[in-house]
Amino acid sequence: MPDLAGAAVRRLRDVLDRIGDALAGCRLDDLLAAQPALAAALDEVGRTGLGGLDARAVAAEVAQARDALGRCVRLGGSLDEAARLVLAARGYTRGYDRAGREHGTPAVAATVDARV
Amino acid sequence: MSSLLGLLSLTSGALDAQTYGLNTVGQNVANVNTPGYSRREVELTAAGPTDPLSAGNGVNVLGVKSDHNTLLDPQVWQQQSLAQQQGALADSLGVVQVAIGTPGQSLDSNLSAFFNAFSTLSQDPTSATNRQQVVLQGQSLATAFNQMAQNLTAAQQSADGSIKGAVTQINALTGQIAQLNTSIANAGGSASSEGQTLQDQQRQLVSQLSQLVGINTSSRSDGGLDISFAGGHALVIGSTAYAASTVPAAGTGLATIVAADGTDVTAALSGGQIGGLLQVRDQNIPSYLSQLDNLAYGVVQQVNALHSTGYDLSGTTGTNFFTPLATATGAASAIAVNPTVAANPSAVAAAATNSPGDNQMARNIAALATTNTMSGGTATFNDAWASLVYQVGQDTQTAQSAQSTGNGVVQQLQTLQDNASGVSLDQEATMMMMYQQAYQANAQLFSLVNSTLDTLLQMVK
């Protein structure tokens, strides 16, 4: 019986790796394209039955997927902080209200901690 | 200025401005591959009219500005520092991993061979060959422990040597950075082209410094940088560099790092190669050595406890197989077969009673191989060894993974910095927002991904 759960987690990890690479390379198009792919991969993992799975293989895939997720979170945190720092220094606030007006106060940070 | 002379003057000024611009473009092109070079941009301004009836006097060159986004510099340096720390850790742990050896071909095989020799002895307890084999395997096991401890100590010494080398490099870099502070101030800071070039050079040096040790920087009003490390100890203030030094620690002889003010900052240092080397020297390797010592001590204690109650071929009892050890500390280096037994294999106690044919003690000692005597009675000797091997592998993998992610963050920040050059501030801000929003679209699913992986992990455990 094919290891459907393992394959689904592997696909999820592939998408996470792509998001990590897009974040590291600041590739906006890839980052945008990854969102539906991530949703689809997540959906597939949720739908896949666990009957007949190779527990050790799935555990290994899950561990690698968690590593990939951790990488995304750290890269995303770094991107977020860099953006916040640059935007704040340029006088931009963080968001917009319903009327399209900017709101919030510039969050000026002297230091950045992108560690997780 | 409506005269022909005035018109010529205006045209000449515009041409000068364009020439200035072309020179700047040429400089940008020539330095396209220069590390740390920041794109230069000519700032032109309309020259105001001196005559109320004139439309103006063409353009004037205000100066050349550097496109470098200094906001991201500290971030790049910080992340470089973290990535280098993990890199140094991964490299050093890679050496340890090689020293530890692969499963089945390292200390575990010596342990198995030793206990197997006792098992073989139990089949013929009076055999001189079998007794000799027990002694030889005991000596091999002791030598393997000694060698392993020596390898780990050598890796620790190697890290220590690299730390001393890194401190020397730090001092060389801070000296150059301090000199550049003087030069930048003399050149008028970032307001002059020369000052910008010097700042580029300085940023390169600071980047190298951040790869050696975690630093904090602060900009000076004259265009230079002040630098501190280890929680605020000065490395560079203006034109003065404050040299760090290394001093051998009492007892271990390993280098402690001392700031220029005389403070021992070893424990306060983090980041950069030094951070990684200190971690492997002062935390990882001592932890591995401690586990190795405990294992060696456990073997000595357990084997001696049985052996000393057994009887040798001449009916003598009370002999230890290994030289007794007072404490686990240093056991892996000190473990040795009792010279009395090594010199005379008939002193091996194979019998539990004073009977030459009795093999019970040899069987009891052989059974130690599969008895949970380690980790509070939950692990065999081989389990304890496997745990150490796993720990080293896990630490190495974690460091490699963190290094890879750290390099990704550095790459990301450098890309952001490159993207910032040559675009308007509005474009840069828009770009940043788009990156942020594109990331956040994905990040909304991350908690779901995390909980799904958690659930899966629980199901397959």
Interface touch A5/B456, C-beta < 8 Å: yes
Secondary element (H or E) of residue B234: strand B233-237
Q: Cβ distance B195 to B64 under 8 Å?
A: no
Q: Cβ distance B166 to B213 under 8 Å?
A: yes
Interface touch A50/B459, C-beta < 8 Å: yes
Name which of B405, B413, B441 is nearest A82 (Cβ-Cβ): B413
User: CB-based contact (8 Å) between B408 and chain A?
Assistant: yes
Query: Helix H segments across B213-356?
Result: 272-279, 285-307, 331-334, 339-343
Q: In the predicted model, is pLDDT for residue B8 greater than 50?
A: no
CB pairs under 8 A between A and B: 149
| Chain B residues whose beta carbon lies within 8 Å of the beta carbon of residue A50 | 459-460
**With the CA atoms of B229, B231, B234 and B236 taken in that order, what torsion angle do they form, in degrees rounded to the nearest 10?**
40
Determine how many CB atoms are found less than 10 A away from the CB of residue B112: 16
Question: Could you read off the pLDDT of A20-37 as tens digits, one per residue?
Answer: 999 999 898 999 999 899
| Chain A residues whose beta carbon lies within 8 Å of the beta carbon of residue B408 | 20-21, 23-24, 71, 75
Q: Round to whole Å and give the CA distance between B285 and B231.
A: 25
Phi, psi of A109 (to 5 degrees): -110, 135
This model of the complex carries an ipTM of 0.78
Q: Round to whole Å and give the CA distance between B272 and B86.
A: 8
pLDDT of residue B11: 46
- For testing the chain A interface, which of B75, B219, B410 should be mutated: the one with the most A CBs within 10 Å? B75
Question: Could you read off the pLDDT of A90-103 as tens digits, one per residue?
Answer: 776 555 545 555 55
Q: Round to whole Å and give the CA distance between B184 and B64.
A: 15
Name which of B401, B419, B445 is nearest A67 (Cβ-Cβ): B401
User: CB-based contact (8 Å) between A82 and chain B?
Assistant: yes
Interface touch B425/A90, C-beta < 8 Å: yes
Give the confidence band of A105 by pLDDT, cuts at 50, 70, 90: very low
User: Exposure pattern of A17-42 as b/e (b: 16+ CB <10 Å)?
Assistant: bbbbbbbbebbeebbbebbebbbebb
Angle between helices A4-25 and B425-460 (to 10 degrees): 160
* β-strand partners of B61: B44
The average confidence (pLDDT) of chain B is 87
pLDDT of residue A47: 82
B54-83 residues touching A, CB cutoff 8 A: 69, 71-72, 74-75, 78-79, 82
Query: Within 13 Å of residue A36, how many CA atoms lie on the same side as its CB?
Result: 3
B410 to chain A: closest CA residue:
A24
Structure-model confidence comparison of residues B421 and B342, the more confident one: B342
pLDDT of residue B457: 82
Question: Could you read off the pLDDT of B132-165 as tens digits, one per residue?
Answer: 999 999 999 999 999 999 999 999 999 999 999 9
User: CB-based contact (8 Å) between B405 and chain A?
Assistant: yes
User: CB-based contact (8 Å) between A109 and chain B?
Assistant: no
Question: Could you read off the pLDDT of B51-83 as tens digits, one per residue?
Answer: 666 555 555 555 555 567 778 889 999 999 999
- For testing the chain B interface, which of A23, A29, A73, A87 should be mutated: the one with the most B CBs within 10 Å? A23
* β-strand partners of B257: B246
Q: Which residue do the tokens 């730390």 mark?
A: B163
pLDDT of residue B107: 95
A95 to chain B: closest CA residue:
B433
Q: In the predicted model, is pLDDT for residue A17 greater than 60?
A: yes
Of the ranges B3-7, B13-17, B313-317, which is most confident? B313-317
pLDDT of residue B414: 86
Question: Could you read off the pLDDT of B234-272 as tens digits, one per residue?
Answer: 999 999 999 999 999 998 999 999 999 999 999 999 999
Name which of B78, B409, B452 is nearest A75 (Cβ-Cβ): B409
Question: Could you read off the pLDDT of B218-243 as tens digits, one per residue?
Answer: 999 999 999 999 999 999 999 999 99
pLDDT of residue A107: 42
Which long-range contacts link B222-228 to residues 24+ away (Cβ below 8 Å)? B222/B181, B222/B184, B222/B185, B222/B189, B223/B184, B223/B185, B223/B187, B223/B188, B223/B189, B223/B190, B223/B191, B223/B195, B223/B199, B224/B180, B224/B181, B224/B182, B224/B184, B224/B185, B224/B189, B225/B177, B225/B181, B227/B174, B227/B177
Question: Could you read off the pLDDT of B97-112 as tens digits, one per residue?
Answer: 998 988 888 999 999 9
Determine how many CB atoms are found less than 10 A away from the CB of residue B129: 11
A32-61 residues touching B, CB cutoff 8 A: 32, 34-35, 38-39, 42, 45-46, 50, 53, 55-56, 58-59
B267 contact partners, CB below 8 Å, separation of at least 6:
none
Nearest of B319, B310, B309 to residue B342 by alpha carbon: B319
Name which of A24, A34, A42 is nearest B448 (Cβ-Cβ): A42
Q: Cβ distance B188 to B195 under 8 Å?
A: yes
